[in-house]
């Protein structure tokens, strides 16, 4: 591996960016791909087709390294990823069940809620929290293809900015709590914000339809849908 490429790989991993190192087995030519875009690491970097990049991104989301066949010879895609992330907006009762369950499932969980009476260590022990406004928190933290975002506050002032940020990002899952009627109003607001084409990405009402109504049951349904989306 060339020194320039190696240093860039180390930098991307240090920043916790999910990246894929692609190597052509025939001659060792390499490329580095992040968020569906090959990173410029020299004029002699391995050229990839759109189809190959699409397959590389699928493997990255599922964290499955492996061989890709191509007309130019076999390629090996080595995925370098950190733990998948779950961003939850709203430190509500559902979150009290969802956060520890998601952590047990291997997610790095962060709860965002500027309402300090809700976002407390007593209510969410051991959970990473921020009391920044959602748009500020998500801009600072960053959203990538290994991130799922769920809005549970049921307050448009908190949920809408988070959804706007998520729909403008490569998040693999976007979900929002609320009834069909609530979602219809949400769709109108997001359409006005210029996101009409991205709105179908939102899972709403959030979670698989398991029939549960209690906060913990809804949390199970949400986590199940997030896991399902991750591996699809």
CA distances from 138 to 26, 134, 148, 227 (A): 42, 6, 12, 21
Does the model's pTM come out above 0.85?
A: no
User: Cα 39 vs. chain centroid, distance in angstroms?
Assistant: 20
Residue whose pair of structure tokens reads 């692609």 in the numeric block: 22
CA distances from 194 to 66, 71, 148, 159, 188 (A): 39, 41, 22, 16, 10
CA 129/CA 81 separation, integer angstroms = 22
**Which has the closest alpha carbon to 36: 144, 164, 140, 147?**
144
Q: Each residue's pLDDT tens digit in the chain (232 positions)?
A: 788 888 988 998 888 788 999 999 988 889 999 877 888 777 678 888 888 988 998 888 778 899 987 666 799 999 988 889 999 999 999 999 999 999 999 999 999 999 999 999 999 999 999 999 999 999 999 998 889 999 999 999 999 999 999 999 999 999 999 999 999 999 999 999 999 999 999 999 999 999 999 999 999 999 999 999 988 7
CB 48 within 8 A of CB 29: no
Domains defined for the chain, CATH in brackets: 3-80 (no CATH), 85-231 (3.40.50.720)
């Amino acid at each position: 591996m060339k020194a320039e490429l190696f240093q860039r790989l180390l930098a991307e991993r240090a920043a916790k960016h999910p990246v894929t190192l692609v190597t052509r087995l025939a001659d060792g030519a390499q490329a580095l791909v992040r968020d569906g875009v090959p990173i410029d690491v020299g004029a002699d970097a391995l050229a990839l087709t759109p189809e190959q990049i699409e397959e590389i991104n699928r493997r990255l989301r599922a964290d499955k390294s492996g061989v890709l066949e191509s007309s130019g010879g076999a390629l090996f895609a080595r995925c370098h990823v950190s733990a998948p992330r779950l961003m939850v907006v709203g430190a509500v009762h559902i979150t009290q069940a969802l956060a520890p369950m998601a952590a047990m499932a291997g997610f790095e969980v962060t709860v965002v809620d500027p309402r300090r009476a809700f976002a407390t260590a007593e209510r969410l022990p051991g959970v990473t929290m921020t009391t920044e406004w959602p748009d500020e928190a998500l801009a600072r933290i960053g959203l990538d293809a290994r991130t799922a975002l769920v809005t549970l506050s049921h307050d448009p002032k908190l949920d809408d900015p988070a959804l706007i940020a998520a729909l403008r990002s490569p998040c693999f899952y976007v979900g929002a709590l609320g009834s069909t009627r609530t979602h219809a109003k949400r769709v109108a607001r997001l359409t006005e914000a210029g996101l009409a084409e991205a709105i179908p990405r939102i899972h709403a009402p959030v979670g698989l339809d398991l029939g549960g109504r209690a906060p913990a049951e809804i949390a199970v349904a949400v986590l199940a849908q997030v896991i399902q989306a991750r591996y699809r």
